[in-house]
Amino acid sequence: MDKSVIRFNHCDKDIFCFFVPDQCPECGVSFSGKRLEEAPVSIPNPFSNGHKVPCAFLVASTEDNVLRDFDGRSDLHTGITNTNGIVYNYTKAGVQREHQGWERCICVPLVQPDMFSLMSQWDQYLEKFSSAQMWDPLWQSFNEETHNCYSYTLTFINCVLATQSKRALSKDEFTQSFVLPRIKRASKYMMLCREISQNHFYIVDSPRRNSQESPSEDEDSKSN
């Protein structure tokens, strides 16, 4: 399980840790009986259990370096959940329907909660799409570059967009706007966990001292 990461500020530093220490690791001042100037902020965990996120696009988390290098055709595995959290994903053996194995994922919900009609047809769409010849290994075989799990998920997303009379997304558009920002956040979160596990703290100069504008760090502004 992931521990949750928090951040507090002292000595003009951002200090990331799993729990607020008794004293500042930078200046040594004791916190006991005192209150920090600003309450510690918890950093949202970018991973969730894909089987509990219906109608979503999933990226299975793997090694950190694989996440960092993701370019839409790497080894990363992607899938789509139905309304019951079964993960449809395309492999060399064809489309798999999995009840487990996607417990730690980056999840991108694809349906707004008020889109009842889309939601009610979702499972049918997904099943029909997955039964199409193009995903039948006897008909067209898996190709690492051009016919892989990512093309399966993106093609499905574009079919759904078409039913909503919306424009299709190119692979680059989808990767740049939906996948990479989340992978970046997940990768940073894993780096924080690793650093804190090893050194108890991860300390950086606080960027907020110089500008009072909104913090640019992505973990502050978004959460799933």
Q: Which residues sit at the interface with Zn ion, rule CB under 5 A?
A: 10-11, 24, 26-27
Question: What minimum distance in Å lies between the beta carbon of 194 and Zn ion?
Answer: 23
Question: What minimum distance in Å lies between the beta carbon of 12 and Zn ion?
Answer: 9
Burial letters 102-124, b for 16+ CB under 10 A, else e? bebbbbbebbeeeeeebeeebbe
Measured from the Cβ of residue 132, the count of other Cβ atoms closer than 10 Å reads 13
Quick check: 78 and 89 in contact, CB under 8 A? yes
Q: Which of residues 191 and 203 has its CB atom nearest to Zn ion in the complex?
A: 203
Question: What minimum distance in Å lies between the beta carbon of 28 and Zn ion?
Answer: 7
DSSP H or E run through 60: strand 56-60
Q: Which of residues 190 and 196 has its CB atom nearest to Zn ion in the complex?
A: 196
Question: What minimum distance in Å lies between the beta carbon of 33 and Zn ion?
Answer: 16
Q: Which of residues 12 and 69 has its CB atom nearest to Zn ion in the complex?
A: 12
DSSP H or E run through 219: helix 218-221
**What does DSSP assign to residue 207?**
G
Q: Which of 146, 138, 159 is nearest to 80 (CA)?
A: 159
Q: Which of residues 47 and 202 has its CB atom nearest to Zn ion in the complex?
A: 202
Residue nearest to Zn ion as judged by C-beta position: 24
Question: What minimum distance in Å lies between the beta carbon of 34 and Zn ion?
Answer: 11
Q: Which of residues 23 and 83 has its CB atom nearest to Zn ion in the complex?
A: 23
What are the residue ranges of helices labelled H in 69-204? 116-130, 149-163, 171-174, 180-199
